[in-house]
Structure formats: structure tokens, C-alpha cells
Amino acid sequence: MTAAHDESLLAQVAALPALPGVYRYFDAQGSVLYVGKAKQLKKRVSSYFQKDHGGTRIGHMVSKIARMETTVVRSEAEALLLENNLIKTLSPRFNILFRDDKTYPYLKLTGNGTLFLKAVPSASGAPEPQTFPRVAYYRGSVEKKHRYFGPFPSAWAVKETIQLLQKVFRLRTCEDTVFANRTRPCLLYQIKRCSGPCVNLISPQAYADDVQHAERFLRGETQALLQEMEARMMAHAERLAFEQAAEVRNQMTALSRVLHQQSVDTGTDTDVDILAVRVQGGRACVNLAMVRGGRHLGDRAYFPAHVEDAHALQSVEDDAELQRPVEQQVLEAFLAQHYIGIPVPAALITSVAVDKALLAALSQQAGYKIAAVHNPREQRRVWLEMSEKNADIQLARLLAEEGSQQARTRALAEALDLAPDDVDALHVECFDISHTAGENTQASCVVFRQHKMQSSEYRRYNIEGITPGDDYAAMHQVLMRRYSKLAEALRSAEGTARLPDIVLIDGGKGQVSMARDVFTQLGLDLSRIVGVEKGEGRKVGLEELVFADGREKVYLGKDSAALMLVAQIRDEAHRFAITGMRAQRAKVRMGGSKIEEIPGIGPRKRAKLLQRFGGVRGVESASVEDLLGVEGISRELAETIYNALH
């Protein structure tokens, strides 16, 4: 393999130090291929270039390496942390990747727990919002001035917990603006889900006690909390304050009912993550279950990409530590990538053993010791078995869905007489036109390839210079813009460009005829154009396929797998076009804010301008003299408005 690489690259490999570090491989286009870490950079990297890996996956990757970058670090733990930060940032082609762009939700308690002591009543005697902390759903970066509990695996888990806090401790959930303007208690007070602090139906100290109890409940201190509440109830009873004693009794009853409804016996654990991994059919699933504050909050499944590539790549390296089961590789990749920027509990329960170096790196990152148990007992064993079962179910569902999707792709290829060899790489592009009564016309192009929609390749086109409502002209314009450069590339000597196998048009004969004109003008293959014509009564399942090359219409049948795929792609193009058009329309309608931002234009003058000229577009087309005709607009301000809008 060494002969295929540049001498400067091989020299760089030979000069590497025998120190811990991270290496990155790049191809000729600058795309990152692989990120790895090593105890000894020289030994690890040299192993890639000193062997003939043949036609294996690693041989395919090594043949593409054109450039390399390395970073020396002080320890293996630092190397592991840097490696996975780079993997998550760069998304290399040959690493196991867990893509999860969604942030976890939290439960938020406003304030820091001391504001009620410093609160000063307003002059009117009305309660201040900061005196009575609010419980709320929250997603985003945390702030020190508030208290946060979580993270939770789903929004549903947060909202269910908020409902529990309302039932037991009757904390408020209303916004501060609503709270400050209440004159009588809301419906939540009537159904005993709020204690009515907005109208002084509870004292700040009593409400602060409820907040403190809610915090203890969220931290899992349930038994101690019940004992304290029982002592309070007895103290009220001894003072003959039976109404207050009854309130505490009702809270205890509600809390006991909540704890009894928990399907998982919490035991002594408060914060634990349970992780189970399953690998089958070239796909993997990591199921993460969360226990927070002693409550089992549910789970979430993650499906990594490039499992086969990464496993084949690591299994041939010299270092024995990398020649380990693929389940362990997947789980360790998840642990290293998932907990970047996300709090990790001190206790992990895993279905397979985890490398001690990884736990040391996680501990270093978190600032406290992280322990993992892969052969738990008693209640922890029950949790792990539940998580393993969920991983099995989620992986089976994924494989079934992917198998179904592949069957649909194969059925479409057969219906259109495409070669069987092209099924796995079948490339479909679909176009749709959307507008509002002829205005804000947009065209969408969605891409289907490798048995799934490729959302990163979707494109929108603003259509201009046509008669409003002329869908044929809009289709002509978008196809010309999409394929004119591609046609030039096909005619060039390079020949690297490739047309999609199917160009799907959402429309019948008229739209297909327009597409045929464009392809004829560009010298492209007409057989690739397929129109989706509505059936009788525009009923779903009665669509027919229309062809640009003269073939007869084809009705696939309402239960056809090929028609299901065509409908899926067509509907996605329509959805994408509609959302783009609505965003464009909203942008135009909200254009009035552009006027309000002009110095000297407040709400009243803005309203007069919009009323006088019939909207934002009318103001934009008005001259300085026209603007002077509006009450309150001086020449200087008219010139300022005109210049700002032009």
C-alpha cells in the first residue's frame, strides 16, 4: 500500500513520536475519513501503511488517504476525550457515529431558593412573581439564577413530572406576566392543582416549604420527605389546627399514590443511566434508560452509523485493546460521544464491560468518579433486562422498516424496468410547485437515495419573472436551473456527473410535457421523467404514472409497494414546498417590523403608513413625495424611510 501514497505523507508517518495522541485521515477532497487515538502514535499509524490490506474495508479507506493530521496529548484519557470531540464535530466516514442534535429537556424551578426571603411587597400589596417560584418545562442552556432537574429522556417525562408536582405540592406553572395580572384564581386552583399564590391565597413561607418539598422529591429523598410531612401533620393536629393537618395529610396521600404508581421499584438509587446494546444485521441499537431522583423516567433508543466500517477498521489493527466485540465498541463510542456536554450520573449500568480508560476519561471530564457495572444484581438486574428488551424491540423495528423500504425501492425499480444492479443506488429527485394565489411561488426538490430521503440535499427555488399562478412556467424554470449545469458537465470530457435515475414530477401530462421540453433542450434522457397524475376524484391510491418518452400510463394499484414509495416521495416534496412557501409568506407579512426599526417610526406611524399604502409592499414602492402625504411624516423622515427601504 505504501507505493500508492505520496512520499511526504509516508515521511510524516515515519517521523511520528511514540507518544499518546489523536490522528485524522483526509481524502483528496479534504473530507475527513477517520479519527483515531493511540497510546503510541508512531506504532498505530504505521500499521495502516505497512500492510497490504487488499480489498477489505480498511484497504478501501487507506487507499483514499491523501493527508494526515496529528495532535500529541499528555495522556490516554486526554486522547480519548479529544478523539470523540473530533468525531462528533467532523462526522468521519469510517467512525461509529451517534447523531443526536436534540438537546435534552429539563424541569426548571425559577429562582435560586432565597428570593422569597428578600422579596419586598409591591406598593399595591399584590404578590410579586419572583416571590413564588414557577415550575416549567425547559430546553436549552442552563442559568445559575434558576434550578434545573434532569435531564429527562423526553418532553413527555418532564410534563408528567410537572403534573405530579401540581397534584402533590400545587406549584404554579403560569408565566410571570399572567401571574402579575390575575385578580382571581384560575381554573388550576379550582381543581386543586395550584395553591393560588397570584391572589395571596398562600403565604410566601408556606409556598417556599412546598417548593423545598418538591425539590426533595425530585432529588429522590421521598422516604425522608414523607417522615417530615407526617411530623408536620401531627404537630398541626396537636395545636388543633385540623385544616392545616388535613392539607398535609392530603399531600402525603397524593405523594404515596404517586410513588405506588411507579412501575419500577427505585430501591436506593437516585441518579442512574442504564445502557443496553444490541447488534444485528449490520445495524446496532443503544437503549438508554434514565433514573433521576429515584424515579424511572423512560428510555430512548439510538442507532449509530458506520458500524460495519468502524468494526472492520479497528479489528485489523495491531493493538490488542481494539480487537474487542463490536457490542463493546458501539457502547464505548456511545458513552464517549453522548456525554459530551451532557451531565453523566455517577452510576452507569451497562450490558457489556466498559474500558477503564474510558471511565477515567469520563470522570476527568465530569470532575467526579464515574463507576460502571455490567453484571448487576437485584433491582439493577431488572432495570438492565428491561433496557435490553427495549433494545431488541427497537432494533427489530428498525430492521423491519429498512427491509420494507428496500422492498419498496426494489418494487419501483421493477415497475419502471430499471436494472436490478441499480436498486441499492436508486436515485430519485422529485419536484413540486407551491404558491398562495399566485404569490410567493416556490419550487421544491427532494432527494431519495440509499432507500431513504436525503434531507441534507433538499433544495428550494424562489420562482421569479413568471405570470402569477403559472405552474408550468415555474416547473420549466426550476428544471432548467437544476439541470442546465449538470447537462454541461455531462457533455464535458470529465464525465463524472450523473443524472438521477428518476426525475419525479408532481403533475400529469402538462407538467410532464414541460419537463420534456427542458430535457430536450438540454439534450438529456427523456426516459428518466415520470409524472404522478391524480386519479379519478383525486383519490389517494388511484394515481397513475405518466412518462415523457411516449410510454403508456401505468396504474400500479393502490396496494402496490412501488406506489407507496412514489407517494412517500411526492408527499415529502409537497410538504417541503408548502413549508418554504409559508415561511416566505410570513416573512413578507412580518415585513412591517422592518419599517418599525427605522429611527423615528413607532407603532402609530407604522400603522398609518401601512393603512395609507395598503401594506409593506405599498410603502416600499412609495416615493418621498407620497410619504410626505402621511400625517406626521416630515420630509427628513420621509427621506429616511425611503432610503431604509431601498
Domains of the chain: 2-90 (3.40.1440.10), 105-261 (no CATH), 272-292+328-396 (no CATH), 421-587 (3.30.420.340), 590-645 (1.10.150.20)
DSSP code at position 3: G
Tell me which of 6 and 313 has the higher pLDDT.
6
Say if residue 318's pLDDT is above 50. Answer: no
Whole-number pLDDT of residue 498 = 80
Residue for grid cell 418532564: 158
pLDDT, residue 517, reads: 93
* Tens of pLDDT, residues 340-388: 777 888 899 999 998 888 888 888 888 889 999 988 888 888 889 989 9
Q: What gap in Å lies between CA 567 and CA 542, rounded to an integer? A: 11
How far does CA 61 lie from the centroid of its chain?
Answer: 29
Residue found by looking up cell 444490541 in the block: 278
Beta strand spans in 281-355 (E): 283-292, 295-302, 347-350
What type of residue sits at position 336?
A
Band (pLDDT 50/70/90 cuts) for residue 2 is very low
Query: Can you say how many angstroms the Cα of residue 638 is from the centroid of all Cα atoms in its chain?
Result: 46
- Kindly give, in sequence order, each residue whose CB lies less than 8 Å from that of residue 427, ignoring residues fewer than 6 positions away: 447, 448, 449, 498, 500, 501, 502
Mean pLDDT of 12-22: 89
C-alpha neighbours within 13 Å on the C-beta side of residue 195? 24
Counting beta carbons within 10 angstroms of the beta carbon of residue 30, is it exposed (0 to 12), middle (13 to 18) or buried (19 or more)?
A: exposed
Compute the Cα dihedral for 556, 560, 562, 567 and give only its sign: positive
Q: Which of 490, 151, 137 is nearest to 344 (CA)?
A: 151
| 264 has a pLDDT exceeding 50 | no
**What global pTM score does this model have?**
0.61
End-to-end CA distance of the chain: 61
Segment 229-261, tens digit of pLDDT = 777 788 878 778 777 778 777 767 766 655 544
pLDDT mean across residues, the chain: 81
d(CA 325, CA 374): 15
Q: Which of 208-212, 217-221, 253-257, 442-446 is predicted with the least confidence, judged by mean pLDDT?
A: 253-257
Q: Any residues with CB less than 8 A from the CB of 616 and at least 6 apart, and which?
A: 588, 589, 591, 592, 594, 595, 610
Q: Residue 118 has what pLDDT?
A: 46
4-13, 174-183, 507-516: the lowest-pLDDT one: 4-13
